[in-house]
Amino acid sequence: MTADDEPIRLLDLGTVDPLRSQTIYHAVGYAMADGSPDTIMLVSPDAPYVSIGRHQDVDREVDREVCAELGFPIVRREVGGGAVYLDGNQLFTQWIFAAEHLPATVEDRFSLYCDTLVSTYRSLGIEAVYRPVNDIQVNGRKIGGTGAARMDQAEVVVGSLMFDFDALTMSRVLKVPSEKFRDKVFQTMSEYMTTMRRELGTPPPRPTVVEAYVAACSAALGRTIEPGELRSDELELAERLDQQFATREWLEEGGGLRRAGVRIHEGVRVAEAAHKAAGGLIRCLAVVRDDRLEDVSFSGDFTARPADVPAQLAEALVGCQVGENALHERVSTYYDQVRPETPGVTAEDWVTAVLQATSTAVPA
Amino acid sequence: MIDPGNGIVHRGCLIPLDLWYDVPRDVWLRPEADGSLVLGMTDVAQTRAGKVLHILFKKIGRRIEAGQSAATIETAKWAGPFPTPVGGTVVATNSDAFDADILVANRDPYELGWLIRLEPDAWDPGAIGLVTGSTAIAHYEHRIEALGVSCVRCAD
């Protein structure tokens, strides 16, 4: 990291259309050549949209009909991660740096990047903390998301400062296995996400946030940050990428990365799976927090007496560590105490259903 | 501990002596008897990127120019290209191994975790800045120190 004497270019682009809010940082990344400045870009979309991760399959992740009804474009980005609903209540804070001007490992890059967001929130009176690898939280609630990608010579780190967040709309645009799952995603996001509005009542004005953020970046990076302009080659590339990113081919050529469940933040996810037992299908919907079952429910076409066996079992499993032995112990204890009749469904089957819903935990 | 075999280990990073390297891109290349080249991520590359989550290979038969991406890689926290230092035609990918174990390049970057096999347009490694043997070791020791990176087999 030897760029101390070179100022960082600040591009504060205000609001741009949804597509451009994605293509512009790709354009600056791909246009980077020897001698190009490192850039910090601030931008918000002027309308809501949905963005999916680089390798995601749009049809598996996003309800395209709902997006069409609501008039939301769907834009695939070259940054990884999951599908996300975005609107003008987020200020995107994109770093487009020469690779050698940022720490070598992804972890160290996120640490530096997230620290600037944490410092910004703290200067605004929000007790944010960095939770490695790439989460920022306030009292256990996530505030914003981050991601990273390589674009030719540039290493790009993206994230946002969250003025507000519409969890209900986010839960509507995701493709989910059931409405119950959608409700659980909404509830869990409402519980485990926060924003400047939630923390402060009224979010600070944008210029105040920008000033705090630029100061935090300058301090963390030890470099001068100077307002600048987009170059003509960057703008031309952005226009070309606007065309490319708007095509159906681009949207649909993700590559089929499946992410089990919906990750709410570093330690919390909502997941569902079905297990076919001899006595019927057991569908398990689970909220996992730090590898423990925070909430779990069972449904399906199995037979159980008494009728509230699924609810009782679910209750018995709350707080249980997600692991075969721990789950088995709780289910067996329940069976020993209650002696329920579940023809064709054994204690093992409940454990399998929970493990199937939860074992495919993929970090996002 | 990593067995250095025929290479060295510097700050935990294995650098086999018998491979060719594009050091700035962190790509290794191994010429095969049939004239093709096998390419993969170095130990430094897999450490920097982290656990692989998904990989999308360019199709067999596809021509790739030097510097272009032969695969896109998504790790838990990062996405990026796998650039080839040599132009050529894709003749094989290691997709079966990644299908069986997506962390194969994190576990074994130089053997089981190879990425792609190319029929190169030409093979003149010195002319395009590739290095091998003790020269590669010297370059990598310098690079590893400059990056301040210590390798970990991210899958372990």
Residue of B103, B89, B117 whose CA lies nearest to B30: B117
Q: What interface predicted TM-score (ipTM) does this complex get?
A: 0.84
Chain-chain contact of B74 with A105 (C-beta, under 8 angstroms): no
pTM: 0.86
Residues of chain B with pLDDT > 90, as a percent, come to: 88
Q: Considering the domain B7-147 in this protein, what is its CATH number?
A: 2.40.50.100
Q: Is the pLDDT of residue B69 over 80?
A: yes
What are the sequence ranges of the domains in chain A?
A: 8-252, 267-358
Residue B9 is inside which H or E element, if any?
strand B7-10
Give the pLDDT score at A363: 38
Q: Which of residues 12-41 of B touch A (CB under 8 A)?
A: none
Give the pLDDT score at A290: 86
Query: In the CATH hierarchy, which top-level class contains the domain A8-252?
Result: alpha beta
Give the pLDDT score at B155: 64
Tell me the C-alpha to C-alpha distance, in Å, between residue A316 and each of A18, A187, A284, A295, B148: 46, 21, 14, 10, 49
Give the pLDDT score at A267: 82
Determine contact: B69 vs chain A, CB below 8 A. Answer: no
Rounded average pLDDT over B92-104: 96
Task: Give the whole-angstrom CA distance, residue B53 versus residue A290.
Answer: 20
Residues of A in contact with B81 (CB under 8 A): 150
Rounded average pLDDT over B125-148: 94
Give the pLDDT score at A258: 65
Task: Give the whole-angstrom CA distance, residue A266 versus residue A100.
Answer: 28
Q: Is the pLDDT of residue B49 over 50?
A: yes
Residues of B in contact with A151 (CB under 8 A): 80
DSSP single-letter state for residue A254: S
b/e code A181-195 from CB counts within 10 Å (16+ = b):
bbebbbebbbbbbbb
Give the pLDDT score at A57: 87
B93 touches B115 (CB < 8 A): yes
Rounded average pLDDT over B45-68: 94
Main-chain dihedrals φ then ψ at residue A253, nearest 5 degrees: -100, 35
Q: Is the pLDDT of residue B2 over 90?
A: no
Site from B77, B84, B151, B154 to mutate, A interface, most A CB atoms within 10 angstroms: B77
The single-letter code of the amino acid at B21 is Y
Give the pLDDT score at A187: 95
Beta strands B69-75 and B63-64, pairing class: unpaired
Domain A267-358 falls in which CATH fold?
Enolase-like; domain 1 (3.30.390)
What are the sequence ranges of the domains in chain B?
A: 7-147
Residues of A in contact with B144 (CB under 8 A): none
Q: Report the gap between the CA of A271 and the closest CA in chain B (Å).
A: 18
Three-class secondary structure assignment of A294-355? EEEEEEECCCCECCCHHHHHHHHHCCCECCHHHHHHHHHHHHHHHCCECCCCCHHHHHHHHH
Number of separate helices (H) and strands (E) present in chain A? 13, 16
A154 touches A99 (CB < 8 A): yes
Report helix, strand or coil for A24: helix
pLDDT digits (tens, 9 = 90+) for A214-268: 999 999 999 999 999 999 999 999 999 999 999 999 998 876 676 667 888 878 8
Chunked into runs of 10 residues, chain A (364 residues) has average pLDDT values of 77 98 98 96 98 90 96 95 94 96 92 97 97 92 93 96 97 92 94 97 98 98 97 97 94 74 84 89 90 91 90 94 94 94 94 85 40
